[in-house]
Amino acid sequence: MKLGVLFSGGKDSTFAAWLAKKNGYEIACLISIISENKESYMFHTPSVSKTEKQAEAMEIPIIIRKTKGEKEKELNDLKKAIKKAKEKFKIEGIVTGAVESVYQASRIQKICNELNLECFNPLWQMDQIELLEGLIKNKFEIIITGVFAYPLDEKWLGRKIDKKFVEEIKKLQEKYKINPAGEGGEFETFVLYAPKLFKRKLKIKSFEDFGEGNSWSREIDVE
């Protein structure tokens, strides 16, 4: 079955694509929505403009569509992008990286129903620590590109998701009730490499940090 992946460049959408490929599905294309609204209800924002570089590293075609990111209206842009993927690449279903967000999952499911497409959510309700450990076990290379919750600050930007990260985030979960995989929007990520999905590793050429207090973003340039 040919599938399109709703792809933000972060750990969840990449892991979902990786699992779909591992289970024998054909990844026909990636679909990225670039939102002008950094508070978008639907779409991940830090460094999402670099998904094109990730697609090149995977050697998978990508459809990119911009949206103003207005609540509910942004779904029309998503639907148009998915419809284009269906017409251009003959996809029969959509893969998402949804883990706990009923808001996201329900709206994507509705669009898939309207376009007569299957909807796959391979990470749905996965334990968040198990999710992180699965990424480490399978040798994903992932960095933090945004933090948006106390006590996270600019020192977390650029950190890799590794065993030390998991140990520290577990402690923060216990003390501050932070979702360890960032499901509450506490942090955002960017994937530099995923075995058997990427044909080559991406390298960071430069970066610029923006923010204050406990809200920081890192815009990266990759090659």
Q: Average per-residue pLDDT in the chain?
A: 94
Quick one: angle between helices 102-114 and 74-89, nearest 10?
50
Model confidence pTM above 0.85: yes
Place of tokens 């998978």: 60
Model confidence at 197: pLDDT above 70:
yes
Residue 46's pLDDT is 64
For the domain covering 2-120, report its CATH number: 3.40.50.620
135-222: what CATH class?
alpha beta
The rounded radius of gyration (Å) of the Cα atoms in the chain is 16
Kindly report, residue by residue over 101-149, the tens digit of the pLDDT.
898 899 999 999 999 999 999 999 999 999 999 999 999 999 999 999 9
Locate the domains of the chain by residue range. Answer: 2-120, 135-222
